[in-house]
Amino acid sequence: MNQNAIAVDVLVRASNLTRRVGETTLLDDVSIVIRSGQGWGLTGKSGSGKSSLLRAVAMLDPIDAGSVEGFGAMIHSEAVPAYRRKVAYVGQRPSMVAGSVEENLRLPFELRGYSQTFNRDAAVGLLESLGRSAALLDQDASRLSGGEQQSVSLTRTLLAEPQVLLLDEPTASLDPAATELVERVLLDWKDADGSRAWIWTSHDADQIDRVSDQVIRMQAGRLIDG
Ligand SMILES: Nc1ncnc2c1ncn2[C@@H]1O[C@H](COP(=O)(O)OP(=O)(O)OP(=O)(O)O)[C@@H](O)[C@H]1O
């Protein structure tokens, strides 16, 4: 493999991330590399720092030390919005603005500097593959169940065509049938393009087995093997 091929293979390189809030150390010198096609499974007890790591890699939270490199370049502040479109964090509590689900899905596409346009058919297709009907688009976003919110959040994320997903317990508020659908949609998404990758956190060891090819565990803000 030549040097260029190596550079393209590494999508994200997070190095020596440290984050403290007051006396609490959320991340303690954590490094992780995300390569094309890779499915990281991230486990660890509640409070071990999994969300903190995903949010730091997504550049959503400030860090006290360390760096994030994306697609071969250091990500400085002006490059963060473009980076976040390619490296998307899917949180446990999706944020919605007042209005319909469709308005929420359209919102990112109406931001300045956003070149893609909203594809309603693609949105309906994704919602249907997640077990929701097209009628969900007309519903008031403030009145969705936790599971519906998660479906909308995932749809919004996938419509933006990211390359890396940082999935923070993406099935936490779903029943087993809905969980299976989310897993299938995401596994299909990843299989459709060998350059896509994710870090997927879960408390469900069986799910981690199904969705990851490499597992890493967090303990007290540090990464330890398997
Ligand atoms: N903004 C913050 N300010 C202070 N402490 C925080 C903040 N965010 C998280 N923490 C603390 O940092 C630690 C790690 O939290 P984090 O949410 O990353 O854990 P987690 O492994 O994702 O947990 P869970 O499995 O419950 O989602 C916890 O002790 C949490 O209380």
Ligand 1 atom at minimal distance to the Cα of residue 218: 21
pTM of the model: 0.92
Which residues make beta-bridge pairs with 20?
Answer: 25
Per residue in 19-76, pLDDT (tens digit) is: 999 999 999 999 999 999 999 999 999 999 999 999 999 999 999 999 999 999 999 8
The reply to whether ligand 1 has any atom less than 6 angstroms from the CB of 43 is no
Minimum-distance ligand 1 atom for the alpha carbon of 52: 18
The single-letter DSSP state of residue 3 is H
CA distance 157 to 186: 11
CA of 83 to the centre of ligand 1 (A): 24
* Buried-state track 159-188, b at ≥16 Cβ within 10 A, e below 16: beebbbbbbbbbbbbbeeebbebbbebbee
End-to-end CA distance of the chain: 28
Is the complex ipTM higher than 0.85? yes
The model's pLDDT over 130-168, given as tens digits with 9 standing for 90+, comes to: 999 999 999 999 999 988 999 999 999 999 999 999 999
CA-nearest of 169, 186, 199 to 42 is 199
Backbone φ and ψ of 148, nearest 5° = -65, -40
Atom of ligand 1 nearest to the CA of 221: 14
**Which domains are delineated in the chain?**
3-225 (3.40.50.300)
pLDDT tens track for 73-102: 999 888 998 999 999 999 877 788 899 999
